Amino acid sequence: MIKLCRVDHRLLHGQVAFSWTNAVQADCILVASDEVVNDEMWKTTLKLGKPAGVKLVIKDIENSVKALNSGVTDKYKLLIVVQTIHDAYRLVQEVPAIKSINLGGAKKQDGYRQISKAIFVGPQDEEDIKAMLDKGVEVEIRQLASESSVPVQSVL
């Protein structure tokens, strides 16, 4: 069961590893990233940062979609973490079970605008967010589980 799908360019760090894992009572974290899956150093770092007793799985987006749709992940309380809004959009397009997206961190880039303390969006991100909203997916901005949720449409 998918408990949370989060966009955070830093992936697995204190807020995700402990705050969010505890808040949603996740027993498995899926890092869905085409970049990380081929980076041994990054994978090792993520493995070191995961909470004890929580399974960590690292897959590219395509194989994440296959796993999520196959039912193999249904036995877990799953926390999915992606690096970019576009990665979240890709998952939403192919995994009907994803009903909401949590925007926790999207890094600043040239031509991007800031819509919250830790979220910067470019034109493609805005298109992807609007497409997710049009599909009926809830998109919220919230760094910490203890913070109030802000609907993304209120700041776009």
Catalytic residues: 13
The DSSP 8-state label assigned to residue 76 in this structure reads S
- Pairing mode of beta strands 78-82, 2-8: parallel
How many residues are recorded in the chain? 156
Pick from 67, 37, 31: nearest CA to 50 = 31
CA–CA distance, 74 with 79 (Å, rounded to integer)? 12
Other beta carbons within 10 Å of 81: 28
- Provide CB contacts within 8 A for 68, sequence distance 6+: 2, 30, 80, 91, 95, 97, 98
The helix/strand/coil state of 69 is helix
